[in-house]
Structure 1
Amino acid sequence: MWAEPYAQALAAVAPNVSERGFRDEFLGELPDAELHLLDGGHWLLETHLGDVVAPMRDFLARVHR
Structure 2
Amino acid sequence: MKKEEKIEEEQKIEEDQKKQEEQKKQEEQKKQEEQMQQEEQMQQEEQKKQEEQKKQEEQRKHEEQKNQK
Normalized against structure 1, the TM-score is what?
A: 0.25
Normalized against structure 2, the TM-score is what?
A: 0.24
Max Rg structure: 2
